[in-house]
Structure 1
Amino acid sequence: QLYKMIDSSVMGDVKWQSFDVKYSGPRPQHDVPGWMSAGYEVWYRDPLKISHWMLANPDYNGEIDYCAKQEFTPDGQRRLKDFMSGDWAWSQSSKIATDPNTHGSTFVPVILGSDKTTVSVGTGHNEYYPLYMMLGNHHNNVRRAHRNAVAVIGFLAIPKSKSLFYKDDVKFRKFRRQLFHVSISRILRSLKPGMTIPEVTLCADGAFRRVIYGLGPYIADYPEQALLACIVQGWCPKCTARRGSLEGDGINIRRWCEHTEALVESLDLGTLWDEYGIVGDIVVCISFLLL
């Protein structure tokens, strides 16, 4: 009955799907831990179809920005209000405008968030790991007004080990990290073609526009930021500040993909962990802005 109620919601035509993930690395000859042979089920809805619905919903007409904007007060002060008025949206839109293949396309930033939650009422303290999605084009008041501008697009797996010994095992911790990144990448793969090739999409005002999708901010608390950024717990996910010197002491530089990739190619895993706070043996296919 609950599933029927969910499917009958305004986005109920975007059906739930699932896939299984299993550990595929080397195993001990004896006493194989249960997490190595277990399958982990991940449920999700197609984020591209959810995006289509969010862009085309006529209820949002007049409350969607189809291009980046800069607003100023009468005295010349910059006013930052909605997401598309920010510097990042402006810079991404400028890149789209300078590319002949995407020139004139509407930039659609995809904002994600996740938060592991324990539901205790009538469920026996079950844990859930929902993944949320919204679009940066909607005005702030739309997202705050419970008007379906924020959608649950997935429930991530939560691998556990019954043995306290394996709970802190290096292989188990690596598998948990890799499971998270593989799941996110798999869920978002339908958006990938539209990140480089414009897609014609119906919008809330009834017009069809060429749009380019992009991964924007990921809203998460610190443990999830560390997981997303593949950094060691206690280090800053945005810069190379060491544990104990997060207040800005010393010379620290901002983390960026090219720098991290160069370090991973040049240094061993131990040095990456100890000197830069990088978990260097996780394969990451996507990157986000961390909030």
Structure 2
Amino acid sequence: MSAGDIDKLMKLSEDPPFADHKDLYRLIDDIEHGDVKWNTASISYSGPAPPGPRPSWMDKMHDIWYRDPLEVVKSLIANPDFADEFDYAPYHEYIGSDHIFQNLMSGDWAWRQADEISEDRQTHGAMFVPVIEGSDKTTVSVGTGNNSYWPIYISIGNIHNRSRRSHRNGVVLLGFLNDPKTENQFRNTVEYRKFTRQLVHSSLRHIFSTLAPGMTVAVVVKCGDGHFRRAIFGLGPYIGDYPEQCLLASIVQGWCAKCISLPSCEPDSYTGEIVPRSVDHTVAVVEYFELKTLWEEYGIVGDVIPFAEYFPRGNIYEMISPDILHQLIKGTFKDHCITWVEQAIHTSAPNRKSALQVLDLIDCRIAVVPPFTGLRHFPQGRRFKQWTGDDSKALMKVFLL
């Protein structure tokens, strides 16, 4: 019912339960049960102005919308639907001598975090709650002016993977990051690129700020089984595609966000030990080298500090986790396998026309695959304009066989 209709309805009664629609909305907002309420924050540029015309992005207020992650995490812990598929402590599972990895709490990272918690007398015996984050910057065809769409989601690693995938409340929308716009003449300037990177890290630092106290001092939470436990929070895996991984870790695109290997290093020819990135190494090189050297020789964006460095339990190099859709399904199959086959055909064919004829023959063979349970029919072959995850997984069965 619209606000105007609510007002008309209230006027029909001599003793209406609400004065108007605002009174009704105010009561709904005050109800303690239900989803965590939304908040908004504004971030603006406060640095020096460059000579010449002042870019519009320097004067704008860049808004972010979010919910309190502490309250969201508490609601996930207290959800009784997860009581039977919830890990209250890390564990190791073996079949013979093989370590079995199934849920997040069965891994070595959660085990190490629990060891650190147990060594502190103030947190000894507390339940470790890893907060899983994920974001995917994209665009939408419909909207209200700005078609940029940058949602961020969270979950907790205590919930079993099977339950998280199947349950509608296992993954929660936490907020929306801001994607600033500017004029074409300022889009590639150093100041603008630095501001866009800093805006993301400042936004994430502000959004997750309520979790920071609970990373060093145990917080009493109610669990889905009805018991109260002391909990210590930690920033867990952050799931994102490669551009977002570089942005979050302040790494130059083209470099690995997990190790310090050179971009030109071929896996087959590299015989040395792969050294993972660490906070201590990054702090050391940032202290002694200039920004240009950091960029060119270490692949580090030295003038932006990753948001995770402001949290006691947040190592961005350990947090980064691959995006299954973009990096494994679409990345490995579409961007690598399909592209490699097409390039091989163009290289071996005597001319471009012959190569295109071979590709047409492949499409014809895909189109005439007989229907079968579990197989999807592709009447146009593999010529998609927009590849989705379902397209890639379904075509993979036909193309590779």
Corresponding letter in the other structure for 1:193: P
Structure 2 residue aligned with 1:272: 294
1:159 is paired with a residue whose SS is: coil
Shift of 1:246: 5.7
CA distance in structure 2 between the partners assigned to 1:244 and 1:231 by the alignment: 16
Structure 1 residues 12 and 119: CA distance shift in structure 2, 3 A: farther
Deviations 1:66-119 (A, max 9, x none): 00011123x343211111000101111111112111110000000101001222
From 232, 236, 253, the counterpart of 1:212: 232
From 181, 195, 198, the counterpart of 2:218: 198
* 8 A Cα contact 1:55 1:204, kept in partner: yes
Structure 1 residues 199 and 91: CA distance shift in structure 2, 3 A: same
Corresponding letter in the other structure for 2:72: I
**Deviant stretches of 4+, over 4 Å:** 121-125
Identity percentage of aligned residues: 49
Deviations 1:143-190 (A, max 9, x none): 110331101111000011122x31111110000000000000000000
CA distance in structure 2 between the partners assigned to 1:12 and 1:115 by the alignment: 26
* 237-246 vs 12-21, greater mean Cα deviation: 237-246
1:189 is paired with a residue whose SS is: helix
* 141-150 vs 87-96, greater mean Cα deviation: 141-150
CA distance in structure 2 between the partners assigned to 1:240 and 1:250 by the alignment: 14
1:31 is paired with a residue whose SS is: coil
From 106, 126, 131, the counterpart of 1:105: 126
Structure 2 residue aligned with 1:281: 303
- The question of 1:60 aligning with 2:82 is answered yes
Higher relative contact order (CA 8 A, sep 6+): 1
Corresponding letter in the other structure for 1:99: D
* 8 A Cα contact 1:69 1:85, kept in partner: yes
Report the TM-score when normalising by structure 2: 0.67
Structure 2 residue aligned with 1:129: 150
Structure 1 residues 155 and 26: CA distance shift in structure 2, 3 A: same
Structure 2 residue aligned with 1:233: 253
1:242 is paired with a residue whose SS is: coil
Query: How do 1:31-110 residues align onto structure 2 when only pairs under 5 Å count?
Result: 31-73=53-95, 75-110=96-131
1:185 is paired with a residue whose SS is: helix
Structure 2 residue aligned with 1:139: 160
Structure 2 residue aligned with 1:189: 209
From 33, 38, 47, the counterpart of 1:16: 38
Corresponding letter in the other structure for 1:108: V
Shift of 1:13: 3.5
Shift of 1:124: 6.8
* 8 A Cα contact 2:135 2:240, kept in partner: yes
Shift of 1:244: 2.3
Structure 1 residue aligned with 2:320: 290
CA distance in structure 1 between the partners assigned to 2:92 and 2:227 by the alignment: 23
From 264, 269, 272, the counterpart of 1:244: 264
CA distance in structure 1 between the partners assigned to 2:271 and 2:98 by the alignment: 34
CA distance in structure 1 between the partners assigned to 2:278 and 2:143 by the alignment: 44
User: Per residue, is there more helix in 1 or in 2?
Assistant: 2
Structure 1 unaligned spans of 5+ = none
1:224 is paired with a residue whose SS is: helix
- The question of 1:30 aligning with 2:52 is answered yes
* 239-248 vs 260-269, greater mean Cα deviation: 239-248
Higher gyration radius (CA) = 2
Shift of 1:253: 2.3
Structure 1 residue aligned with 2:348: none
1:226 is paired with a residue whose SS is: helix
1:184 is paired with a residue whose SS is: helix
Aligned length in residues: 285
Corresponding letter in the other structure for 1:178: Q
Structure 1 residue aligned with 2:376: none
Structure 1 residues 122 and 179: CA distance shift in structure 2, 3 A: closer
CA distance in structure 2 between the partners assigned to 1:77 and 1:238 by the alignment: 25
Structure 2 unaligned spans of 5+ = 3-24, 309-314, 322-401
- The question of 1:117 aligning with 2:147 is answered no
